[in-house]
């Protein structure tokens, strides 16, 4: 401590009587965040396995996951769309695991669809990997009709493991 700070009563680096303000991660033990679902009565209910709104309460970490595609670790891409979708989810799970999270921490997913006939496959894989109790928000869009190479791509936020994956 400098003599100047001592004369000013700033022995600890703050004015006398002022509480110590530490970052949240130092002031409390980690608790899993509370996730609240919102499906207001004033709009039609969800058309699938999702909630209209997902509120993250008491979030101490936030992970944004970049768009993932069905590329295997060796760089190969299966010709089978279902295998690509499965690999996409495995890639997402790998990123989450690196951050100490799981798919139980996901609060939102975004899916780009090139072929509308793939929606049932995407929905089934989403339910399989997120589990029946996870109703993370889901945004899906793209162009219908097919054409072009079939590629599975998804990105999403998540929650827990001390934070959220986004």
**pTM tops 0.85:** no
The CATH topology of domain 30-165 is 60s Ribosomal Protein L30; Chain: A; (3.30.1330)
More reliable by pLDDT, 138 or 163:
138
Task: Give the model's pLDDT for residue 61.
Answer: 74
- By percentage, how much of the chain surpasses pLDDT 90? 19
The per-residue pLDDT for range 13-22, each reduced to its tens digit, is: 555 555 545 5
Expressed in angstroms, the distance from the first to the final Cα of the chain is 43
Is 108 in a helix, a strand, or coil? strand
Q: Which residues pair with 151 in a beta bridge?
A: none
The per-residue pLDDT for range 93-128, each reduced to its tens digit, is: 998 888 888 888 888 899 988 888 899 999 999 999
């Amino acid at each position: 401590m400098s003599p100047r700070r001592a004369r000013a009563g700033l022995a600890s680096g703050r004015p006398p009587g002022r509480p110590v303000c530490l970052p949240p991660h130092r002031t409390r033990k980690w608790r899993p965040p509370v996730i609240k679902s919102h499906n207001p009565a004033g709009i039609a209910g969800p058309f699938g396995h999702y909630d209209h709104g997902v509120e993250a309460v008491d979030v101490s970490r936030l992970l944004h996951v970049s768009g993932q595609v069905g590329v295997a670790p060796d760089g190969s891409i299966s010709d089978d769309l279902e295998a690509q979708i499965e690999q996409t989810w495995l890639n997402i799970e790998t990123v989450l695991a690196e951050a100490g999270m799981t798919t139980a921490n996901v609060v939102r997913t975004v899916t780009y669809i090139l072929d509308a006939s793939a929606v049932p496959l995407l929905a089934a894989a989403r339910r399989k990997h997120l589990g029946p109790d996870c109703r993370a928000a889901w945004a899906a869009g793209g162009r219908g009709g097919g054409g072009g190479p079939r590629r599975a791509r998804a990105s999403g936020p998540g929650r827990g493991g001390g934070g959220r994956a986004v």
